[in-house]
Amino acid sequence: MLLSDTALLALIALISIACQWSAWRLKLPAILFLLIAGVLLGPVFGVLNPDQLLGDLLFPVVSLSIAIILFEGSLTLHFSEVRDVSKVVRRLVTWGALVTWGMIALASHWLIGLSVELSALFGALVVVTGPTVIVPMLRTLRATSRISNVLRWEGIIIDPIGALMAVLVYEWIISSQQGEKLAHTAFLFAEIILIGTFLGGLAAYCLAFVIRRHWLPHYLQAFGTLALVLSIFTLSNHLAHESGLLAVTVMGIWLANSRNINLSEILSFKEHLTILLISGLFILLAARLNLNELITLGVPALLLLAVIQFVVRPISVALCTLGSDLNWRERTLIAWVGPRGIVAAAVSALFALRLEESGYEQANILTALTFAVIIGTVVFQSATSKWIAKRLKVTEPEPRGLVIIGANRVARAIADILQKQDIPTLLIDPSWENISEARMKGLNTFHANPLSLRVSEKLEFGGYGQLLATTPQRDVNTLASLHFRNEFDERNIYSVSTEKPEESTARASVSHTHQGHFLGEDAFSFKKLSSLLSQGANIKATRLTVDYSLEAWREANQSDRSLLMAISPEGRLRILSPEHQTTIKEGWIIISIDSRQEKPPETSTDPKHAAV
């Protein structure tokens, strides 16, 4: 059954969300599912033909989409993140890229039998990694911050550099064919660098100037930025072929490191748009694959993949990390991860068509060989990188911990009992008195205003998966809940309820939806919890067994205790609230507040249900 163009576009969107959801559910990179979906829709079942669907608009759409993806990625590049590894990043994207290009060119010439010219072009094409593959992989890999920063910076900066190298090699091939001198290629290189850098910097400066002076309304900032990115990309490409990627990368990095501008709204919009574009692009380009050409490549292509994975990348990374602070474990994982991305696929398809028209017979396998490298590196590294990272012990700890806003009596009591159950906690409070009390109890603390820039720059939340605001001020709890939504999923943000001021009106009160989920089955207020603790109440942990179930515990303590949290047998913390109910069985540890006066420690002749 033939589908209309509208139906095909809707189908791509539907399959994209299905692939992204499957990746999230199975904790695998989404690229795997997107590539499989594209191959099934295109060459296998023949449902989707991108060239027929979009016609002459296919490559313009792909180019503009890559520009947006690259700009969004560069908006997250802050110089402060790579101060200790900046030398490594610089090496990887300069002479590291040249080493990679040279070795891949030699390998493709010897193993595949490509001509010297096409080998050089292929080597330049597959130098790039790119944010389209690196960012989704890092999301599931959860490597340490130094490794993630190196890979992310390399992936974003190498995209325009790789495209520039491919353009220069292509121009060298064409100019050599036409008898022109090498000086033409050198002039083209300088032209691309100058125009791309100048236009990207100019656009970023103008946009930052406009945002600082509030000349653009807040609701138009995301749209205005998008329009400017597309315009600068197109203008730069018009003035110097393939300089647009460099322009949008420079623009993004400049904006990311500009002062006194708030990019949160722009970043949020771009992140959602990028997910849509990445999903659609991978499906479209995978659907263009010629499986016969891919299969024809055979064993030589597999050998080339092995050389790229086990020889080229490790040698390049080893040379670029000499004398750096990275240890051997970090270097090994960086050497293992280097999947090729969508820029290689798009540029290879474009150059293959042009070279075929110029009489290069082998040009028709250029796209198939590039896709073989993309699919091979993505599938292999997606399947093995997480396992390798765990064996090397260079992953962030599981997000089992709890960040607590406040270090007051309530916060300290909660953190103390959780720490005894091996749940990591971090208390953030601007009050030195509260912080001192917490440190005397051996609790992990950070002395700062939780909304300050110091917290954003100094703290890593890799091992923390939930947040609990425990201050007596409703507004502070609300601001903290909103502020940390970029770090924690909205469903993992909680707060103690607070009493409404007596003079509060519907117009002046804070919306309940901004305060996070309330702590405990009974949604205790801060005032109530603090009062109970000051009267001698305790927060206790009790392990449930087959003989001592939750129902038995409730019957024995119905009027005296109330559940706040629970810890699964796997050691995962579940914060209870009226909105979130958890099925608690034997083997779980329940955290409750005991409103009875302080008594000697509980004893029990039956150790199966003793307090822990």
Of the candidates 465, 424, 423, 468, the one whose C-alpha atom is nearest the C-alpha of residue 450 is 468
Token readout for 445 is 């603390």
Q: What is the pLDDT of residues 178-220, one digit of tens each?
A: 666 667 778 888 888 899 999 999 999 999 999 998 898 888 8
pLDDT surpasses 50 at 508: no
- Spatial contact of 346 and 69, defined as CB atoms under 8 Å apart: no
Specify the range with the lowest mean pLDDT, choosing from 45-49, 192-196, 343-347, 417-421: 343-347
Q: Say if residue 486 is in the same domain as residue 583.
A: yes
Token readout for 369 is 């060989």
Q: Say if residue 292 is in the same domain as residue 366.
A: yes
Q: Say if residue 434 is in the same domain as residue 466.
A: yes
Q: What's the pLDDT score for residue 181?
A: 62
pLDDT surpasses 70 at 589: yes
Q: What's the pLDDT score for residue 414?
A: 95
Q: Say if residue 93 is in the same domain as residue 63.
A: yes
As for how many domains the chain has, the answer is: 2
Token readout for 219 is 């609701």
Task: Measure the CA–CA gap between 316 and 249, rounded to whole angstroms.
Answer: 23
Query: What mean pLDDT do residues 553-576 have?
Result: 85
Q: Kindly list the distances between the CA atom of residue 423 and the CA atoms of 193, 194, 368, 550, in Å, as whole numbers in the listed order.
A: 51, 53, 50, 21
Query: What mean pLDDT do residues 31-50 have?
Result: 90
Token readout for 571 is 């050691």
Phi, psi of 425 (to 5 degrees): -135, 155
CA angle 111, 113, 116 (to 5 degrees): 110
Q: Say if residue 420 is in the same domain as residue 343.
A: no
Q: What's the pLDDT score for residue 444?
A: 94
Buried b (16+ CB within 10 A) or exposed e, 85-95: bebbbbbbbee
Q: Say if residue 319 is in the same domain as residue 230.
A: yes
- Spatial contact of 576 and 505, defined as CB atoms under 8 Å apart: no
Q: Say if residue 59 is in the same domain as residue 147.
A: yes
Range of the domain at 176: 5-392
Q: What's the pLDDT score for residue 84?
A: 65
Query: What mean pLDDT do residues 405-426 have?
Result: 94
Within 10 angstroms of residue 258's Cβ, the number of other Cβ atoms is 16
Q: Indicate the pairing of strand 493-495 with strand 589-594.
A: unpaired
Provide CB contacts within 8 A for 362, sequence distance 6+.
114, 115, 118
Q: What's the pLDDT score for residue 601?
A: 43
pLDDT classification of 110: cutoffs 50, 70, 90: very high
- Spatial contact of 166 and 121, defined as CB atoms under 8 Å apart: yes
Q: What is the pLDDT of residues 469-491, one digit of tens each?
A: 999 988 888 888 888 887 888 88
**Which has more pLDDT, 586 or 172?**
586
Query: What mean pLDDT do residues 237-251 have?
Result: 88
Q: Say if residue 199 is in the same domain as residue 287.
A: yes
The DSSP-derived string for 425-492 is EEEEES-HHHHHHHHHTT--EEES-TTSHHHHHH---TTEEEEEE--S-HHHHHHHHHHGGGTS-GGG
Of the candidates 408, 495, 405, the one whose C-alpha atom is nearest the C-alpha of residue 452 is 405
The CATH number of the domain holding residue 428 is: 3.40.50.720
Q: What is the pLDDT of residues 524-550, one digit of tens each?
A: 888 989 998 988 888 999 999 988 888
Q: Say if residue 422 is in the same domain as residue 368.
A: no
Token readout for 216 is 């653009």
Task: Measure the CA–CA gap between 59 and 51, rounded to whole angstroms.
Answer: 9
| Percent share of the chain, pLDDT over 90 | 36
Phi-psi region of 11 (alpha: psi -120 to 50; beta: other; left: phi over 0): alpha
Q: How far is CA 112 from the centre of its chain?
A: 35
Name the domain boundary from 353, 369, 392: 392
Q: Kindly list the distances between the CA atom of residue 425 and the CA atoms of 422, 435, 469, 498, in Å, as whole numbers in the listed order.
A: 9, 13, 13, 22
Q: Say if residue 386 is in the same domain as residue 429.
A: no
Q: Say if residue 366 is in the same domain as residue 464.
A: no
Type of residue found at 198: F
Q: Say if residue 380 is in the same domain as residue 471.
A: no
Task: Measure the CA–CA gap between 566 and 505, rounded to whole angstroms.
Answer: 36
Query: What mean pLDDT do residues 489-511 have?
Result: 67
Name the domain boundary from 373, 392, 411: 392
Provide CB contacts within 8 A for 201, sequence distance 6+.
250, 251, 254
Q: What's the pLDDT score for residue 333?
A: 95
Q: How far is CA 395 from the centre of its chain?
A: 14
Q: What is the pLDDT of residues 68-96, one digit of tens each?
A: 888 887 887 777 766 666 889 889 988 89
Token readout for 180 is 């022109």
The CATH number of the domain holding residue 341 is: 1.20.1530.20
Helices marked H in 523-588 — which ranges? 526-534, 550-557
Name the domain boundary from 359, 392, 425: 392
- Mean per-residue pLDDT over the chain, rounded: 85
Beta bridge partners of 469: 405, 495
Q: Kindly list the distances between the CA atom of residue 210 and the CA atoms of 214, 234, 236, 416, 466, in Å, as whole numbers in the listed order.
A: 6, 21, 21, 49, 37
pLDDT surpasses 60 at 273: yes
Q: What's the pLDDT score for residue 335?
A: 95
The DSSP-derived string for 20-73 is HHHHHHHTS-HHHHHHHHHHIIIIIT----HHHHHGGGHHHHHHHHHHHHHHHH
Token readout for 348 is 């290879």
